Amino acid sequence: MSVSLGLSTVTQAVISALLLIGMLVLYLRRFTRSPRWLLLALAVCLLDQLAKALIVPQVAGRHPVSLFFGAVQIVYLQNREQGFGGTLSYLLVLTVLCVLAMYFLYDRLAKTSYHMSLLAECGLALMIGGYLGILLDRVTLGFVVDFIEFGRAGTFVYNIADLAVIFAVALLALRALKFLSEPRDWHKRLLEKAAP
């Protein structure tokens, strides 16, 4: 299936990142009371870009540097794919569907007195910071710089931004599990308040 809308993979990736960052910022601005999420997001992006600026010149064009008895390799990879080595020609369509679903949920939550938990806030902030780091690479270089490989012949090569997004997903999954284990009456009240 190819639904590229006539856009290059880089253009799709940039637009997709901007849409997701925009929606996540909307959530955080509406459902949190503190701007600390902005500091965390900017710190992740800065750490990602700083690590690339310091590490990549040391390993580009050279043999991988082995750390922790081979458990981690520092390498240099220009990732021109759209994410995790994939080439989704329909990335933008999937992103738009995801953003629409998030907006539907946002609209429901906005009708209640919902306040985001610290765990969810950190997860979204890490995700924004990771997406910003990836977005900066795509806009300035046309590809994403990856340099962290786990194991001697890992399947994927990561950067700090990738790891922040993966950790963010884990935090959000943990928050979802915690939410599902909370008393059912709370869920019922939330749904009743959100009903049109």
Which long-range CB contacts under 8 A does 39-42 form with residues at least 24 apart? Answer: 40/122, 40/125, 40/126, 40/129, 41/125, 41/126, 41/128, 41/129, 41/132, 42/129, 42/132
Q: What is the pLDDT of residue 85?
A: 46
pLDDT in tens, 75-127: 888 888 765 444 555 677 888 899 999 999 898 888 888 889 899 999 999 99
Q: What is the pLDDT of residue 111?
A: 87
Write down the residue that tokens 């194991």 correspond to.
151
Q: Any idea where the domains of the chain sit in the sequence? A: 9-54+84-143+154-194
Q: State both tokens at 162.
A: 């990738």
